[in-house]
Every structure is written in structure tokens, then in C-alpha cells.
Structure 1
Amino acid sequence: METINQLLSINPSYILIGLLIIFFSMEMAFNRPVNFKGKLNHMLQSFLFQLIAILIGSLLGLMIVTTFEFINENNFGLFNWIEVPFALKVIVGVFIIDFSDYWFHRFDHKVPLFWRFHRVHHSDTAMDASTALRQYPTELIYFSIGELFLCVVFGLDILSMNIFLFLIIPVFYLQHTNMRYPESLDKALGWLFLMPNYHKVHHEQDQFYTDSNYGTLFVIWDRLFGTFRTKPVAEINYGLKEFKGKKKQSFLYLIISPFINIK
């Protein structure tokens, strides 16, 4: 148990950087030929967003610790008011956090103000593992607020949050990585998890597909609320048309893009 707690306490930013190196190397090894210079520059534009995320990471960490201290000290939340086995509380907690992310992700697409920031993630016309890092900093904050709100309402244990983060970081890379895998895995695991092929559909230029597959870790919310769609990966056109061109793929352009009208 102590070993598990030590693993879960590792700074997520270190895990992100380590996994980026691993998946970047795998993409280089399995996808030939590769424009190394072009791919490295592409990764750099997305990695700069992660540097900002690291800077605000201490704020998010403080929010998480403060929230769970409040829950524990006040015995607050539904699962603290009724008798729930600890293991069940932790497992259900992971699903509750993912449920929050599903709806915030859906709001990102449906609320124009939110979309201005979220479209930065969808701007990548050459999706690979580094696309996972192309997240506007404000999204990290309000996604965390949504998750923590439900943690308070249900009185979740911090272990649920740690397990969710421990799972979602490698899964998020897998969902964006430019590598193929046997489609039989989709049939075996795709009833519960949002498989990489499903998330790639979400990055299709056609809005019919962009407005689908909002799940983060689990696909059950999309299946339940009618937002699940599929399309052959080979037929997917990634990115957004208004972000085509080298200039519009630069970090500086992307960071100011929520505040300008793009044609």
C-alpha cells in the first residue's frame, strides 16, 4: 500500500514529460519515414503549453489538498453521511470524477466562450502524442473546479482523485498518439473505455464528429447520452479548417487565438 501511495504522489507534470518522451520515441520508431525536425518543432509548440501548466500546478495542488482536508475534517458529503464500503467509495469516486469531465468537455463544445479556449486543443492538424499537451491553461482550472465540486458533494476520498489522475495521464497520451493497434481491442475494451480510435474521431474536422465522444476515461457517458460516434481512422481529417497554415500552428498564435476572430 505504501508503494502505491508513493506512486500516486508523484508530480503529474513529471509523468507527463516522461510519457511524452516514451511516446515520441515510439512514434519515431514505428512511423517511417519521419521528418524529425518538423516533428520536433511540432512537439515544441504543444510542450510550451505544458510549461504554463507546470506553473499553475501548485495552485491546482493547493486546491485539491484544501478541498479534501475540508471533506475529511467536516465529514462532509453523501458518502460520509451514509455507510459505504471504502473500496466502493473509491471506485465510484473515479467514475464520478470522469462524469464531471464528460459534461465540462461537452460544455467546452456547446458554450461559445468555452469553445474559444478549447478549440486550441482541436487546432492540431497533425495529431500525435504531443497534442495531449495542447491544452489552454484556463481549462485545467475550471475542469478541476468541476471535479472538486462533485468530490465535496459526494464526500469522496482523495484516493479516487489520485487513481483517476494516475490512469488518465497515460490514457490521454494513448488517445492522441499516432500509432495503430489491433481493432479487436476496441471490441474487447471499447464497451467501457474511450479507446484511442474513438477519441481520434472527436478530432475530425467535420463538426458532426467533433461534437461526439466527449468522454475522458470511460465511454459509457457517450453511449448513455447519445454522443458516441465512430468513423474509420484512415478517413479522419484532423484539426480545424480555420487553423490551417504554419503561422496558425505556432504557440504565440494559439495562445492569443481565444481573444481574436479567426477566419
Structure 2
Amino acid sequence: MNKIFSNQFLIYASVLIGFWILELVLGQQKVKEKLLHSLLNIKFLLFVLPIQIVFSLGVFMTAQWTEVSGWGLLHLFPFKLSFIPSFVLAFIVLDFFEYLYHRMMHKVPFFWRFHQVHHSDRDLDITTTVREHPGESILRLVYTILMILVVGVSPAILIVRQFIQSAINLISHITLKLPNKLNNIVSLVFITPNTHQVHHHYELPYTDSNYGDVLSIWDHIFSTFMKKEPSEIVYGVDVNMDKEKCNNFKNLLKSPFDKDLELIKKDE
């Protein structure tokens, strides 16, 4: 188990650092600005990592239990599915649940109070991926355990899926974009940096669009898919666009619990 966690962390860190360097080389941010922005977001990772480690044990123990006990939707078939069909089916169902989770984080005021910390980043880049309030990490991991119980995912399927999910989540936050023609094709099925950047636009209804985790098909099915010209996208949240406030780590941690520090949707 420790080896699995270590390998996942090393792969995640390698992708994060690799694309961070690529953004620096191909982007327009100065080195000092990018370093300061990255250090702010990495602080969230330092707070969230202990939570991730503890709850990840619960996630994998739950997956092991569902496999042994035969609990969950995947075990309702009258015959045993081989790995590939099980993986494809589990991936699609779990991705749908992730879509529901993301939509819920925007639509339920209590959950949004935590999730808005992620959206408050005025300079979206790959480090924005780890800009997650510890409270949201707990909510997300509890939801993940419930998903596994419902679907009945085995540890092997979960490991492969999490690798793909983590890579796509990182890539969807990069500052780089796909060419429009390629993006129009890829975004029919998958979330791309282009589509996720629209999701981080500061104004509604764009903020409440493109909820997909890996697959964009749910946004197309439920009419939450939106496009916007890249030159018109402004990152942040509409109630407070003050960079100083959005970059104050201590205030960001306190904001879900303090009305005076709330960043968005005060009319809840």
C-alpha cells in the first residue's frame, strides 16, 4: 500500500513539475510572479496532504471490502466481468458521479463556501489544481468513499482510474491551449484546458458550466457545456476580484467560516 501511494505521488509530482516548467517556457508570466503564485497554491497542498493520506487509506480499504464482499453495482451482473469491461464501466459511472459532485459543489451554498477558494485564483495555471481548501478535501474524499460503496470498485480499477483522473485534472488547469479545431473535436468527449478555463471565468453562467472531471459528455447531455473566446476569459470570482484578498492564504482558509471574508455568492 505504501509503495502504491509513493508511486502515485511521484508520478503526480513529475507531471506537475514538468508542465509547470513548460508553462514557464511557453507562457508570458515572469519567473518571480510564477514562483510566488505557485508557492501560495503549494501551501494548500501542505495542508491537504495529511488529509489525503489518511482518507486514501479509507478509500482503498473500502475498495478492498467491496471486492471481497461483492458489494456494489458492478457485482449485480449474473456473470463475473473481466478487468477491461469492469474498468470501462466503472470509469464511466464514477466519472458521472464526479460530474454530480462538481455540480453540487457549485449549487449547494455550504459546499460552495469551500469550493470558491479554488475558483478565487486570479492566475490560473497547473498549480491551481492543488488549490483546494482542506474542508473541501474532506468532503471530496468522503464522497469518494460513498461512490466506491455504491459502484463496488476494486482496488486495481481504482488505482488505474485515479492515475488517469489525476493526470487529466492537472492538464485541464494548464495555461496552454489546444488549437481551436483540435479542441472542438477532443472536447466532444474529454475535458480540455480550453473548456476548463471557461469554467474558471469569473462571471456566471460560465462559472457554472463545464463541470466534467475527465469526460465532457455529461456537460453535453445535461446542457452545461459552454464555450468562450480565450481572449475574453477572466479568472476569479465575481464578488471579489481584489488580487490581494484572493492571494491571502490565511483569509482563504478562514473564508468558508467567516461571512466577512466570503468571496462570492453572498446572496445565498
Is TM > 0.5 for Structure 1 vs Structure 2? yes
**TM-score between the two structures when normalised by the length of structure 2:** 0.89
Counterpart of 1:61 in structure 2 is 56
Residues 1:79 and 2:74 aligned together: yes
Matches within 5 A, 1:227-238: 227-238=224-235
Residues 1:218 and 2:215 aligned together: yes
For 2:203 and 2:117, the matched residues in 1 are separated by 16
For 1:123 and 1:21, the matched residues in 2 are separated by 22
Q: CA deviation at 1:6?
A: 11
Contact between 2:59 and 2:144, CA under 8 Å: does it hold in 1? no
Deviations 1:31-66 (A, max 9, x none): 24x321121011011001111221112212211122
The count of aligned residue pairs is 258
Contact between 1:77 and 1:156, CA under 8 Å: does it hold in 2? yes
Matches within 5 A, 1:141-220: 141-220=138-217
Counterpart of 1:49 in structure 2 is 44
For 2:171 and 2:73, the matched residues in 1 are separated by 34
Contact between 1:205 and 1:239, CA under 8 Å: does it hold in 2? yes
**TM-score between the two structures when normalised by the length of structure 1:** 0.90
For 1:25 and 1:136, the matched residues in 2 are separated by 25
Residues 1:21 and 2:13 aligned together: no
Identical residues among aligned pairs (%): 31
Counterpart of 2:252 in structure 1 is 254
For 1:224 and 1:159, the matched residues in 2 are separated by 29
For 1:151 and 1:20, the matched residues in 2 are separated by 26
Q: CA deviation at 1:215?
A: 0.7
Contact between 1:204 and 1:236, CA under 8 Å: does it hold in 2? yes
- Structure 2 counterpart of 1:45, one-letter code: L
Q: CA deviation at 1:9?
A: 5.6
For 1:97 and 1:144, the matched residues in 2 are separated by 13
Contact between 1:60 and 1:144, CA under 8 Å: does it hold in 2? yes
For 1:56 and 1:137, the matched residues in 2 are separated by 8
Counterpart of 2:120 in structure 1 is 123
Gaps of 5+ in 1: none
Q: CA deviation at 1:10?
A: 4.4
CA RMSD of aligned residues (A): 2.1
